[in-house]
Amino acid sequence: MKRKMIGAAAAYLAGLFFASFFTGITSAVIFITLAILVFAGGIRGKDLILLLVFFAAAFAVSKTYERFYYDRIVNYSGSTGNFSGEITGIESYAGDLSLYTLKGELNGISDVKVTYLGSGLNAEYGDILHLDSCRFSEYTNDYVLRNKDIFMAEGIFLSADYPESVSVERTHSRKIKNALMDYREKMLSLFRSKMSGKTGNFLGAMVFGEKRGFDPDMKTELYRSGVGHVMAVSGIHVSVIAVMLMAVLSRLQLGRILPFILMNVLLIIFITMAEWPDSAVRALVMIDFIYSARIFRRQSDIFNSLAGAVLAICIADPFAVYSSGFLLSVTATFGIGVFGPYMTRNFTGNRHVRNFLIMICTSMCIFPLTIKYFGETSLISPITNIILMPLCSGAFIIGAIYVITGGILPVLGIAELLLTPVLAISDVISKSRIAYFSYSGENPAENIFVLAAIVIILHIVYRSRAVTAWTMAVSFCAVMVFSAITSHISQKSLRVAFLGKGKNTAAVISYNGTVRIFDLSGYYNSPVYVRKYLADNGVSTVDSVMLVENEPSQYASYVSEAASVDIEKWYSRSDIFISGDDIFIADEEINFSWDELEIIYRSGRLAFDFCGTEITIESSGNSGTFVVSGDVLPHDIPIDREENNGLNNFEIKLSEDGAYKFRRL
């Protein structure tokens, strides 16, 4: 092994993955497969020992950390007690509401981080919050909100809820941190006031990673056009600032070490204002590897620097593998800096064509992760990144200059001029179904990761760029074909998805190309779950939406969340808020293909005749039964709420032969 740093980082990262995600027979099978690959790759002797040592070390560290720290903390979930902690993080929302991250002691366990959501405190970084008789709750994941993974990556395992009293102890510490965050808020305010709403929010997301008040449709448009990654402060942003700073500092003839120190100080200030995202930290460590090599006149490359950054971050934080931002950043950097140049090494054609091929390689590298975390991926990102990224980079540089100079230079108009066509083009692209891909099959990430493993195996065996390229192309086509087939088959079945948070339920019923939405509880967040389900299944047209409770607010929520979906009819149980020709009373005819459907589920009972006019809704039901009745297909499916943790977010698929299938979303 010529570059041991790369092998050590890969083995350590693999050890954390096994310790975090794989158990039992699955772990054994994958471990044996990896061992075979290692031997097939010709790794022997000292190199093999190195890999095993780092793999075992990572596995042991992760399990030890989990057993003696994580488990001890989450054991307090469901209990009530007092907690006092220093404020180390503040995430502000509308209405003076803030999510505070507190660091303190919990029953003898030091440096425990918990979150508290409260309002009216006006607390700052470094202040102490005292929570009396609060209830501790472990973070969990569901269909939309991956809270457990997000907070675990930050070392936060509990939330402190419903305290009897809250008091703030002013410490007036962390003055630099508070000053930086005040300055950040000032700059964000200037972005929004001196630019249009959309471009101002877009620039704020690029410069500071700030997405409060960000239009969800605009976010979808940018991701579908392939440039959504610019909204997260990542390696691109840190690298651009580093190059700018070093270009200026090198002209001041300050030697080799002082510019390096000044660059790090300014980058740390920038990353602090961006709230220390994992991707930016990874980029900072990589840049330090590269520039320190120049200082000491050593040779450095992107692969070694990336490996060093991954190893440093994972040693410092064993739960970094739960961070989607970290994994996407590492994978994208590997694609654009290592895999892409490797695959195009012998290409002698046009430079722009080579850049396009590198972008294709990068897209293929991040494809499994984008499907896992977002449910869809852009198909034209190699093209749009070449066309639109210069505009985004130019706007980012202008925004960074504006922030560095304290807002003195009147340059935001130029940034708006650059970002306006990016948003306009993204809006057009997002409306084209061929511009992005949504995986319609079950277990999308698992299936795609299996194909990715096959590509890696064949590359190790054959060591051929051509074989690797063809295997990737065939695998990608296989995913597309399989998704299309499963989507076609699903349309022939009756599918009912129960979506929402807790006992708040929205039902999405699909059959033979028709999609109906029945909002049973009127909960404000249900449209978010429905939106994801529609996107995951590639639904662009909804036949009707039935509103039961809180009709005015729910109507506004669905209009906002489902703006990219064409909704043909709206139904209300009453005529209280009827304000247009597109909203109908619920007793009007709703045609469907099967005879009758009755849902008796947490929020109540919904029953209607598909081919008739009767719709019955009762909000007091509490049993767990799903009934489809009629001459065509008799079903009576019990749903064990305890077995399924009392949560929503599952789908039942019924076939005309009388079979049904339960699937957790």
How much is the average pLDDT of 275-298? Answer: 76
Count the Cβ atoms, other than its own, within 10 Å of residue 348. Answer: 6
Task: Tell me the per-residue pLDDT of 294-307, one tens digit each, with 9 for 90 and over.
Answer: 766 666 677 888 88
How much is the average pLDDT of 278-286? Answer: 79
Provide the token pair at 560: 């906002």
Task: Tell me the per-residue pLDDT of 493-543, one tens digit each, with 9 for 90 and over.
Answer: 778 888 887 667 788 888 777 888 888 777 788 888 898 888 777 788 888
Amino acid at 630: G
pLDDT class of 25 with cuts at 50, 70, 90: low
DSSP labels, 195-251: S-HHHHHHHHHHHH---TT--HHHHHHHHHHT-GGGGS--HHHHHHHHHHHHHHHHT
Provide the token pair at 219: 């976010």
Query: Which residues are CB-contacts of 409 (< 8 A; sequence separation ≥ 6)?
Result: 401, 402
- Predicted confidence at residue 168, as pLDDT, reads 92
How much is the average pLDDT of 157-165? Answer: 92
Does position 136 have pLDDT exceeding 90, yes or no? yes
Task: Tell me the per-residue pLDDT of 389-432, one tens digit each, with 9 for 90 and over.
Answer: 889 888 988 988 898 888 888 899 999 999 999 999 988 887 77
- Predicted confidence at residue 166, as pLDDT, reads 92
Q: List residues bridging with 615 in a β-sheet.
A: 608
CB 235 within 8 A of CB 286: yes
How much is the average pLDDT of 554-560? Answer: 83
- Predicted confidence at residue 626, as pLDDT, reads 43
Does position 236 have pLDDT exceeding 80, yes or no? no
Provide the token pair at 333: 């950097």
Of all residues in the chain, the percent with pLDDT exceeding 90 is 11
Residue written as token pair 């560290």: 61
Cα–Cα distance for residue pair 188/177, rounded to 1 Å:
17
How much is the average pLDDT of 448-470? Answer: 80
Query: Which residues are CB-contacts of 577 (< 8 A; sequence separation ≥ 6)?
Result: 551, 552, 555, 583
Provide the token pair at 115: 């979150």
pLDDT class of 387 with cuts at 50, 70, 90: confident
- Predicted confidence at residue 440, as pLDDT, reads 66
Task: Tell me the per-residue pLDDT of 586-636, one tens digit each, with 9 for 90 and over.
Answer: 544 444 433 455 554 444 455 544 343 344 444 433 334 444 443 333 444
Does position 287 have pLDDT exceeding 60, yes or no? yes
CB 429 within 8 A of CB 381: no
pLDDT class of 3 with cuts at 50, 70, 90: low
Provide the token pair at 189: 């305010």
pLDDT class of 559 with cuts at 50, 70, 90: confident
* Highest mean pLDDT out of 63-72, 372-381, 562-571: 63-72
Q: Name the more confident of 184 and 462.
A: 184
Count the Cβ atoms, other than its own, within 10 Å of residue 230. Answer: 23
Provide the token pair at 44: 């022997």
For residue 417, how far is the Cα from the chain centroid?
29
CB 601 within 8 A of CB 639: yes
CB 158 within 8 A of CB 183: no
Query: Can you give the pTM of this predicted structure?
Result: 0.81
Task: Tell me the per-residue pLDDT of 306-354, one tens digit each, with 9 for 90 and over.
Answer: 888 888 888 888 888 888 888 888 888 888 888 888 888 887 778 878 8
* Best CA proximity match to 200, nearest among 431, 398, 426, 378: 398
Cα–Cα distance for residue pair 561/217, rounded to 1 Å:
7
- Predicted confidence at residue 250, as pLDDT, reads 75
Cα–Cα distance for residue pair 215/201, rounded to 1 Å:
9
Cα–Cα distance for residue pair 585/520, rounded to 1 Å:
16
- Predicted confidence at residue 659, as pLDDT, reads 64
- Predicted confidence at residue 617, as pLDDT, reads 43
- Predicted confidence at residue 36, as pLDDT, reads 57
Task: Tell me the per-residue pLDDT of 351-375, one tens digit each, with 9 for 90 and over.
Answer: 878 888 888 888 888 888 887 777 7
**Burial class of 369 by CB neighbour count within 10 A (0 to 12, 13 to 18, 19+):** buried
- Predicted confidence at residue 552, as pLDDT, reads 79
Does position 549 have pLDDT exceeding 80, yes or no? no
Amino acid at 356: F
Mean pLDDT, the chain, rounded, equals: 77
CB 307 within 8 A of CB 10: yes
Cα–Cα distance for residue pair 535/484, rounded to 1 Å:
15
- Predicted confidence at residue 608, as pLDDT, reads 46
- Predicted confidence at residue 583, as pLDDT, reads 60
Answer positive or negative: Cα dihedral of 261, 264, 269, 270: positive
